[in-house]
Structure 1
Amino acid sequence: MPDRPLVGVIMGSDSDWPVMSAAAEALAEFDVPFEVGVVSAHRTPGRMLDYARGAAARGIRAVIAGAGGAAHLPGMVASATPLPVIGVPVPLATLDGMDSLLSIVQMPAGVPVATVSIGGARNAGLLAVRILAASDP
């Protein structure tokens, strides 16, 4: 794999990794270089905005953002970057991820976020592969 990551896999908390690791595994299967990080829309908003605003300049071409509960991370990242953002609703003990799904899928006009199923990080990784392949077959 090249050293420079093409996909960012981010999550609101390190406790989201058991779900989000499936995205990383899918990217690795296709030898797509990626980076992994924890940035929270609520706990570290400045860091999240810095990440989103700087991702394209660092060579990132798509972002996979996983979050549970209020799940503002995918939408906030999408509002601050021109890159495609794929939202992964992370299931929590309460509501089984329905809250996250509805939060991510209901974006206002002008803030596009592709959304996969609850816990669907593998599909997010595969969608990122397709996004990359569409511009670099």
Structure 2
Amino acid sequence: MPKVGIVMGSISDLEVVKGAKKVLEGFGVEVEMRVLSAHRTPVEAARYAQDAEKNGIEVLIAAAGKAAHLPGVLAAYTTLPVIGLPIKSSTLDGLDSLLSIVQMPSGVPVATVAINGSENAALLAVQMLALRYKHLADKLREHKQRMAQQVLEQDKKLQEEVIS
């Protein structure tokens, strides 16, 4: 079973991260969640990233607010793909987090999603895993078809209301 590690810099990020967990589990992906701080527990964060692959993790999602160094720290210690999830903070509405994550130096890439974009972080992880697991590619196609169908149904309803 494919496995994604979700690491958050603070337990206060949990409400946002729950969306990613729900999406991943909906696709049948195992999820491991941890609270590790790039600043307060740097040794543990580094160790987690170094051991992730041997512990069966194939993609990491790192949620962090404010200075948001966690995704970059994890990426520095692993060759696994890391998806940065900027968390909206009270200071700059998450813009500080977004810029901290997206502006990684050359050689240490971190894929980055929207502020509080946990569902897209999960879907991106599933897309990465789908390169290896055909059943996930099939599920992603079905997911996109369902989304398209919902929009077409909404459009049909709108057209019926406008005509009547």
Instruction: Report the TM-score range of the alignment, normalised by the length of the smaller protein.
Output: over 0.9
Partner of residue 15, structure 1: 12
Partner of residue 107, structure 2: 110
In structure 2, give the amino acid aligned to 1:128: A
Q: Within 5 A, what are the aligned runs for 1:57-68?
A: 57-68=54-65
2:82 to 58, 80, 85: 85
Q: Give the structure with the larger helix fraction.
A: 2
Partner of residue 45, structure 2: 48
Deviation at 1:6, TM superposition (A): 1.0
In structure 1, give the amino acid aligned to 2:86: P
Aligned residues: 134
Compute the RMSD of aligned alpha carbons: 0.9
**1:120 pairs with 2:117:** yes
Kindly name which structure, 1 or 2, has the bigger radius of gyration based on alpha carbons. Answer: 2
Distance in 1 separating the partners of 2:98 and 2:57: 25
For each residue in 1:78-129, what CA deviation from the matched residue of structure 2 results, as whole angstroms up to 9, or x when unmatched? 0100000000000011100000000000000000000000000110001101
Distance in 2 separating the partners of 1:112 and 1:57: 21
The answer for unaligned runs of 5 or more in structure 1 is: none
In structure 2, give the amino acid aligned to 1:66: A
2:32 match: secondary structure = strand
What TM-score does the superposition give when structure 2 sets the normalisation length? 0.80
The answer for unaligned runs of 5 or more in structure 2 is: 135-164
What TM-score does the superposition give when structure 1 sets the normalisation length? 0.96
Structure of greater relative contact order (alpha carbons < 8 Å, 6+ residues apart): 1
Distance in 1 separating the partners of 2:12 and 2:97: 15
1:70 to 67, 86, 103: 67
2:23 to 21, 26, 31: 26
Deviation at 1:135, TM superposition (A): 1.7
In structure 1, give the amino acid aligned to 2:10: S
Distance in 2 separating the partners of 1:50 and 1:34: 18
Deviation at 1:39, TM superposition (A): 0.6
